[in-house]
Structure 1
């Protein structure tokens, strides 16, 4: 008897069929990869299994019994725990790491009525021991990096000793060493009988741990692949076309110098380096988590000062003190955590596709504070068509879109006005192969600007960039195959 059996599960949102008859099984003690383009139905399936949504029809059985949880807490009690990609769902600023780890126990009142801080820390430390992570228990959760917030969510899930653990892009914000440690933990837990449904767009992750892969497209499972997984076939099944047709076109010629960084230091004691970016080229900065990639982009965008160095933009000295200064000068940036930095909260007005695109341009588009005309809608319509954004229209809430389509909207924001330098921090995080190709083609189609991308995945850097640099200890060096060898599979052939 399988641990989990899903039969003909269906779920629609208005006229959109998110799930159109999904069927699958998961056995105890196996790791099943779930692959699919953004919008294929993966998130809807996970939300139903997690108790966030109810199915329109179909059945789910867990350990041979009917399973239809009405909340994540009910799903957890039945043996299914989910760690979502967004760390906003893990805990909130103001809570300590120890409190965040025990959040479920506070919610279901499984802790004693009177509990000391020492008792909380002891239980939290025990949960970290199970996960094999080392986190500062008294640190404010809101002050943690994206990687450490993700580790808190994973540690909490593992501490609840679930029968089925669902992981949604768990390594998206983790360094290579943290990812390797997580894989070791998951493989150890699999030997104890834990089943894992692992959702990721990183084939290196899946090759490292998955026993088999299921591919979703159009709300149904369209392919199943046993280990060793043929990822070329799996990806072609996922996107519905050959990989050759999905590759971007020839690289554009390099134009005049747009941006120059001279004798720069990100930290007082870090190595000095130079960097020059040219019109029509895409340059990628890669390296392990914490190497300084985000700091470099933040310094260029005016949100973090350089310890030393001079910046030149189009032949003129460039020294922005704020992000607004950078935008006025023609520098745009999409930060790493798009849900925190680029999107309006779901409960706020102005969270539509059109309003998301227009937000940094309001002063130019609506002078003197008067909102007139349909500039927002026109730009959103163009973006939906150009970037193949899957949405009901320009006024659709950004929160109804998949992660890949959200990222396309963030890119469209900076495509709506001319810029000379575009900075993208982890632009492919949580983005599937098909959406990634749309984004790459949009990035590479512009010859009037330079683009600088920070990515922790060398394969992504190789796929998108004309030139690649590796950042190490906040210093910059030219990329060579041996320097890129920290990737799970090194340089592709």
Structure 2
């Protein structure tokens, strides 16, 4: 059967960095085709090319045997390409009603659509995704799950016949996921093709017909989704990582932080976790696993129930102020939104937690503030070396060092790093790792929340793995391997419930150890 959509020999380079290396990718009409790969494999870049956000360095695309070239997302929309992005809020207008959000793509195709016609289109689109909402409701009043289905309805209303779903079940409950799968099967019956991007491999087995796996910018496998989950992991991981024996560091027996049945908000689950003095505990999980929610619960951003002890004493942390007073520091995932005053100077940002040290009768002693800031800037090697430059003008890596730096001269003993290397370069990552090691040498404890498996393996003394808000596995530094992290984070469990019989030996269910 001739492919309905085909991308042939796609190359994409950013300066001297070749991200896609001759990728061939095709989707048949009415097919659900999974696109898999580890972070950095090239999935996002390939889909940006297909959706018109990027142009390939070379290669060709055809839809229904007709050659196409997209110079903009609107070109892709006109050719029947739709995308439901992972960050749905970036594609919806919060202060506009549902019907205007759903029909704005149609308005781009026609000069004018009456309000009555807009509402009719919106109601029809919502019905198609099994969502019962008043189309006059503002988007900002909708839940995340509702927004995702509204975005899908928007894409369908534009007559999209090829829909890209990027981590669509990350914010969904099991019931909501079942409804989404029902919608996908109905769309498939209508001849709509779905490109399904997910790290949840058990879902691939359930909903997808075919699989393409990228590794390092090239196609590693394409074919039936009948692959076992272990085989998928082997194709995704390859043999490019270090499997050498890791040395266990000597960790103090003193407990800095102990969580007992601490709730993760919105996940209907609780966590038990211990962090020792001088220890780095990696918290592994995919998008939607509950990593950020757990970090925010510990930091008092959500009034989570449960027991927390710090240095052996019961702690009541119901707000960030309580957390800071208790010695907890948070380096958040969204540094520009949650960790910085982007329009303020580096000096203001880096000394934010130190105001008491240079205030007198509510007056800020500017020279002392500037001196403290200069010391931290030099210590952290922040570039440019300026106390007055606005934080927004710094690179991502230097912004992150500012976010970390503001905690370094406080009394904090527990540091929560949530995806700290997101969007920063290799050199900046190395500097962040050095800061973390310096903290542990001072007896501080670090919880390192990340979906970057290699970083977790390199840094952590032990790793706890979250799946749907629950710790499903704890691995010591010596036990942890790339394969085991992927296995448990994608839904594998001690009983192999997703894809193996319960009486098999666990080691037989894990991917075969790689050898060189």
Give unmatched runs, 5+ long, in structure 1: 380-391, 429-434, 467-480
| TM-score of the two chains, using structure 1 as the length reference | 0.69
Structure-2 separation of matches of 1:285 and 1:7 = 35
Q: Please point out which of 289, 293, 302 is paired with 2:300.
A: 302
Describe the superposition over 1:71-105 as per-residue Cα deviations: whole angstroms up to 9, x where unpaired: 22221111111112122322133223333223323
Q: CA deviation at 1:37?
A: 1.9
Q: Structure 2 matches for 1:140-155, cutoff 5 A?
A: 140-155=138-153
Structure-1 separation of matches of 2:263 and 2:227 = 44
Contact 1:210 1:227 in 2 (8 A): yes
The answer to whether the aligner puts 1:444 opposite 2:441 as a matched pair is no
Structure-1 separation of matches of 2:14 and 2:71 = 18
Task: Give 2:184's aligned residue.
Answer: 186
Task: Give 1:469's aligned residue.
Answer: none
Change (3 A) 1:272 1:126: closer
Contact 1:166 1:198 in 2 (8 A): yes
Describe the superposition over 1:430-456 as per-residue Cα deviations: whole angstroms up to 9, x where unpaired: xxxxx3x2243256327xxxx988641
Q: Please point out which of 463, 472, 477 is paired with 1:462.
A: 472
Q: Please point out which of 315, 327, 331 is paired with 1:330.
A: 327
Structure-1 separation of matches of 2:474 and 2:143 = 26
Q: Note the aligned Cα RMSD (angstroms).
A: 4.9
Task: Give 1:97's aligned residue.
Answer: 98
Q: CA deviation at 1:140?
A: 3.6
Secondary structure (helix, strand or coil) at the match of 1:51 reads coil
Structure-2 separation of matches of 1:364 and 1:334 = 16
Q: Please point out which of 167, 170, 173 is paired with 1:169.
A: 167
Task: Give 1:34's aligned residue.
Answer: 35
Contact 1:277 1:283 in 2 (8 A): no
Change (3 A) 1:23 1:248: farther
Q: Please point out which of 118, 121, 124 is paired with 2:122.
A: 124
Over alpha carbons, which structure has the higher Rg? 2
Q: Please point out which of 142, 153, 156 is paired with 2:154.
A: 156
Q: Structure 2 matches for 1:214-253, cutoff 5 A?
A: 214-241=212-239, 245=243
Change (3 A) 1:303 1:195: same
Bigger relative CO (Cα 8 Å, ≥ 6 apart) = 1
Task: Give 2:416's aligned residue.
Answer: none
Secondary structure (helix, strand or coil) at the match of 1:406 reads coil
Change (3 A) 1:254 1:94: farther
Q: CA deviation at 1:465?
A: 6.3
Count of residues in Structure 1 that have an aligned counterpart in Structure 2: 430
Q: CA deviation at 1:297?
A: 5.3
Structure-2 separation of matches of 1:285 and 1:212 = 28
Task: Give 1:422's aligned residue.
Answer: 447
Change (3 A) 1:226 1:326: same
Task: Give 1:45's aligned residue.
Answer: 46
Structure-1 separation of matches of 2:195 and 2:260 = 47
Task: Give 2:115's aligned residue.
Answer: 115
Change (3 A) 1:70 1:404: farther
Describe the superposition over 1:387-406 as per-residue Cα deviations: whole angstroms up to 9, x where unpaired: xxxxx9956999xxxx9951
